[in-house]
C-alpha cells in the first residue's frame, strides 16, 4: 500500500528544488524537456490505460459528452503534448536576461536581471494536457511547479506527472520540480492556498466557481485566467464585407474559447446593410442571436427561430456557445459605455475605417487586448508571437493577456560596486 499523500512534505520538497532549478543551465532544462516529450511518447499505452479509468469513472458519474471529450486522451493528443514540450525547448530561456542596465554617477553598476519566480501552483480542471504544458513552461522558466488537477482526471494526471518527474530526474534535476498533488481531497486545495511561505504564485484555470474560491482563499498572489466577455463593435464608417467576415470569425470560429466575441454592437447608421451581409452567414453557421428591440426588427426576416429577444442578463453572459447578443447603438460613445459596463476587460474590437475612432477605441478601452479590424480570436500566446502560453491573464498586475515564459519570471537588481558608501 502506498502511504497517504503528504502535501506539506511535497511542497517543502518543491520549494527546495526551486532553489536549485533557479540557476540550472538552459541546456540542462532543455534536456529535461526533451526527455519529458520522449517519455510521454514511450508510454503511450500506460497513459491511455490510465485515461480509460478516468473516462469510465466519468461515464459512471454522468459527465456530459463535451466534458468527456475534454478529458479524453488519444494517440494524437499525446503527440500534441510531446510536440508542445519540444516547442518549449525551442523558445529562448528568459532567465538571466537584463532588461535595464545603468551606471550611476557614483560608479555603481545596476542591472535588472530576470530570475525565476520560485514555486508556481497550478490549479486546473479537466484537460489532462495542462499537466504537461504547465510543467514544461514552468521548468523552462526555472520554476518548480505544484500541479493540482481535477479529481475527474486524477489517473491521467498522475500518469503524466510521473513520467515528467522521472524525465526531470534523468536530466539531473530534482524530481520535486514537478510535484503532483496526488490526493483528490478538496481540503488540500485550501491548505495549498495558504502556504505563502513556500509557494510564490497560484494560477487557477477553470470555471468561475474555482476562480472565485481561489481568489477568496489564497494568501499567495493569484494570476487569474477568468472569463472573457468580449465585444466586437461595428462602427458606422466600415467596410461592410470585412465587418461581416470578422464578426463571424470572432463569434463562431471556436465559440467555447474565452477570446470569442459574445456581444456584437452595431452602429445604427449601418445596421441594416451590415445585417444584410452578416445575418445569412450567421444563420448558415447556426448562430442564435439574442437581439435588442431594434435589431430584432431588422433580423427577424432572415433569422427566424435563430433569433430571440435579448434579456437584460444577456449583456453580462459569456455564452461560450453559438449564441450571440446583438445591440444597436447610436454612437461610438454608447458602444464604449456598453463595453465599460459589461466587458470583462479581456479582448475588445472595433471595426472601422475612421482614423480618429480607431484611435479613440484603442486608447479608451480598458482591456488586455484592444483590436482594430481583426478578430478577437487572436488573443493567444502563439498568435501574438510569444510562443506557448500558460494561459491568458485577466489580472492587471504582473501579467496581462497571453502569459508566456517571460511572465513566469520576476526580476532582481544586481548592484556591483567598489566600496561605495551612502552619504
Contacts with a second copy by CB under 8 A lie at 19, 22-23, 102, 104, 108, 110, 115, 117-118, 196, 200-201, 215-216, 219, 221-223, 239, 242, 245-246, 249, 253-254, 340, 358, 362-364, 366-375, 377-379, 383-385, 395-398, 400-402, 410-422
Rounded distance between C-alpha atoms, residue 345 and residue 205, angstroms: 17
Least Å distance, CB 244 to a second copy, is 10
Nearest alpha carbon to residue 231 among 300, 319, 158: 319
Closer CB to a second copy, 134 or 220, in the complex = 220
Least Å distance, CB 376 to a second copy, is 9
Kindly provide the residue ranges of all beta strands, DSSP E only, lying in 78-188, ordered along the sequence: 98-103, 109-116, 119-124, 144-148, 178-180
Q: What is the number of other CB atoms lying within 10 angstroms of the CB of residue 340? A: 14
Nearest alpha carbon to residue 32 among 167, 214, 186, 187: 167
Least Å distance, CB 411 to a second copy, is 6
C-alpha cell at 321: 456557445
C-alpha cell at 166: 522521472
C-alpha cell at 270: 449601418
Least Å distance, CB 197 to a second copy, is 12
Closer CB to a second copy, 75 or 107, in the complex = 107
Closer CB to a second copy, 166 or 253, in the complex = 253
Least Å distance, CB 58 to a second copy, is 30
Asked if 58 and 105 touch (Cβ cutoff 8 Å), the reply is no
Least Å distance, CB 111 to a second copy, is 9
The contacts of residue 43 (CB under 8 Å, 6+ apart) are 159, 163
Amino acid at each position: 500500500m502506498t502511504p497517504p499523500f503528504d502535501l506539506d512534505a511535497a511542497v517543502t520538497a518543491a520549494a527546495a528544488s526551486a532553489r536549485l532549478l533557479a540557476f540550472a543551465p538552459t541546456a540542462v532544462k532543455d534536456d529535461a524537456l526533451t526527455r519529458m516529450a520522449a517519455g510521454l511518447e514511450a508510454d503511450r499505452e500506460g497513459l491511455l490505460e490510465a485515461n480509460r479509468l478516468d473516462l469510465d469513472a466519468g461515464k459512471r458519474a454522468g459527465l456530459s459528452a463535451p466534458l468527456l471529450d475534454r478529458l479524453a486522451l488519444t494517440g494524437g493528443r499525446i503527440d500534441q503534448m510531446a510536440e508542445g514540450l519540444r516547442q518549449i525547448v525551442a523558445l529562448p530561456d528568459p532567465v538571466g536576461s537584463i532588461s535595464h542596465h545603468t551606471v550611476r554617477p557614483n560608479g555603481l553598476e545596476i542591472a535588472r536581471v530576470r530570475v525565476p519566480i520560485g514555486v508556481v501552483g497550478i490549479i486546473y480542471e479537466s484537460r489532462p494536457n495542462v499537466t504537461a504544458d504547465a510543467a514544461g513552461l514552468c521548468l523552462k522558466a526555472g520554476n518548480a511547479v505544484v500541479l493540482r488537477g481535477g479529481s475527474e482526471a486524477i489517473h491521467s494526471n498522475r500518469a503524466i506527472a510521473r513520467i515528467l518527474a522521472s524525465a526531470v530526474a534523468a536530466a539531473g534535476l530534482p524530481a520535486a520540480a514537478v510535484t503532483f498533488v496526488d490526493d483528490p481531497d478538496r481540503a488540500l486545495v485550501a491548505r495549498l492556498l495558504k502556504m505563502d511561505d513556500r509557494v510564490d504564485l497560484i494560477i487557477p484555470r477553470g470555471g468561475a466557481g474555482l476562480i472565485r474560491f481561489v481568489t477568496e482563499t489564497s494568501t499567495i498572489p493569484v494570476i487569474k485566467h477568468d472569463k472573457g466577455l468580449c465585444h466586437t463593435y461595428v462602427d458606422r464608417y466600415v467596410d461592410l464585407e470585412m465587418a461581416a467576415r470578422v464578426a463571424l470569425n470572432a463569434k463562431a470560429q471556436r465559440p467555447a474559447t474565452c477570446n470569442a466575441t459574445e456581444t456584437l454592437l452595431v452602429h445604427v447608421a449601418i445596421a441594416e446593410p451590415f445585417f444584410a451581409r452578416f445575418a445569412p452567414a450567421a444563420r448558415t453557421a447556426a448562430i442564435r442571436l439574442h437581439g435588442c428591440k431594434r435589431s430584432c426588427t431588422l433580423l427577424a426576416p432572415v433569422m427566424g427561430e435563430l433569433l430571440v429577444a435579448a434579456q437584460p442578463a444577456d449583456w453580462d453572459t459569456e455564452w461560450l456557445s453559438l449564441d450571440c447578443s446583438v445591440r444597436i447603438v447610436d454612437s461610438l460613445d454608447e458602444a464604449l459605455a456598453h463595453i465599460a459596463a459589461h466587458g470583462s476587460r479581456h479582448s475588445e474590437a472595433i471595426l472601422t475605417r475612421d482614423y480618429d475612432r480607431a484611435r479613440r477605441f484603442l486608447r479608451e478601452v480598458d482591456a488586455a487586448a484592444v483590436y482594430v479590424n481583426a478578430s478577437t480570436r487572436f488573443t493567444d500566446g502563439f498568435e501574438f508571437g510569444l510562443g506557448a502560453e500558460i494561459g491568458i491573464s485577466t489580472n492587471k498586475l504582473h501579467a496581462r493577456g497571453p502569459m508566456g515564459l517571460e511572465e513566469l519570471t520576476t526580476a532582481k537588481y544586481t548592484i556591483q560596486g567598489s566600496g561605495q558608501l551612502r552619504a
